[in-house]
Amino acid sequence: MLSQVLNLSYLVLFFRLGITQAQHAYDGYSITALIPWTDGHKNFDVTPHARIRITTLDGSHNYPSSTGYYDFSVDTGTCGIVTTESKSGITLAEKIEENRGWQYLSSSHTLYAGYWVERYITFPRSTSGGVITPVKAKVKILSVVKKYENCDDWTEADEDNCRDPGGREVVDTTISTIGIGYGRTYDGQKQGTPDKNPLLNLVSIGTNNLLTGFHPGWRIDEEGIKVGLTNTVWGGMWNFERQLATIPGMPVPLPSVAGINPHYPWPEVRGCVHFFPAMGFRNCVPVALLLDTGIDWSSIRVARDTARAVRISDDDHRLEDDQTASILAGLITISGPAQQTLASFKYYDRVCGTPPTDCSATPQRTEVTYDSARTNFVNTGRHVFRLWAQGYDPWRGIISFEEHRLTSTLCRVCPSSPGIPV
């Protein structure tokens, strides 16, 4: 078994290559397509975007047009398409109580309130074998009628209401997000269920209705989203694999009757975070892990005493410069060791210390918080995608990773050391 260590700026990644039964899990499946990123988004310096078209179920209206498209951000930290009334084409008849919906973003303390309306979603620039092959889904999307900012104290009981005294309603005509995350119902996004995920509600790829030869799932890398798992798509994704948890009694893998659009609510991958030197060489705190394309910084939520021991102050939540936070992925293992280190974060936000050899994987910052009403949690931020391609198999409830290297254009320079990136 081969073991490798990559020393990459403030992010140190360890992985182990091993043999896994997944290498033959996709025999007999051949249907796949690439949903490409918008030009210039391949290195994850910004939230990646993809092009979509929205169509009413009767086919009478296309938004923006039958030949046009919108550029939407692709967010692995949420589940569900969120957009404006004008882009969704919502009608008065659809603004009813049973369609009422909301989505809360804990990273920005933003609340979207509106209505879930069913639409066809087309990715018109998708390709298969190098040929334009549109990918089409039928899914409910959130048509936003109100957006609130500064909803710091929002809880799930508030639903579509922002009760925070500092909250304010704002007008935003640019809301355009495709949420393809999993496990979000367990952490503040109760309505982010799999039936809202467009990639789990596909109806066709080109002229193929996906009844045979299609295995649901996807791979995210620098090219875009490869939907439909095959041995080629999953090939190389064996650096390490992690099994997502299941409800007691649920068979793994899921039975084939789950269909091409399985809606089993897999939770986030489990792991732990260890702070050094604050925690010595022990006490790795169990957490839920989220690899999030939607933000350029990292967020760690742990107990109050732990947060206070490793961050600058109660007013400045950034990780102390002398602390390193190591993120270990996996309590349920398919391949690799029982707990595999995914990332170690060390930041130099306030001072220019010894310059690292590479800044490609440097997040903008990390914040350490606590919340007595929510479980321990780590959001790695999108910089991790510069180093790892990620695969997701919704039938088997497995995520896997393949090491790769992308070059970032966001390397900073110390004023005191011109030309040296930090």
Per the prediction, the chain carries an average pLDDT of: 80
Which letter does DSSP use for residue 27 in this model? T
Say which range, 20-29, 175-184, 258-267, 363-372, has the weakest mean pLDDT: 20-29
Q: What is the structure's pLDDT at 359?
A: 53
Return all residues near 32 (Cβ < 8 A) that are at least 6 apart: 128, 205, 226, 227, 228, 229, 230, 232, 233
Bridge partners (DSSP) of residue 141 are 117
For residue 253, cis peptide bond before it (omega within 30 degrees of 0):
yes
Q: What is the structure's pLDDT at 403?
A: 76
Say which range, 99-113, 142-156, 388-402, has the weakest mean pLDDT: 388-402
Say which range, 69-73, 142-146, 251-255, 286-290, has the weakest mean pLDDT: 251-255
CATH: 3.20.20, 2.40.70, 2.10.270, 1.20.120. Which one for 34-209? 2.40.70
Model pTM score: 0.85
* pLDDT, tens digit (0-9, with 9 covering 90-100), for 206-240: 999 999 999 999 999 999 999 999 999 987 665 67
The type of residue at 259 is: G
Cα 239 to Cα 204, 289, 329, 369, distances in angstroms: 31, 18, 13, 31
For residue 124, cis peptide bond before it (omega within 30 degrees of 0):
no
User: With contact defined as beta carbons under 8 Å apart, do 296 and 386 qualify?
Assistant: no
Per domain, the residue ranges of the chain are: 1-31+215-422, 34-209
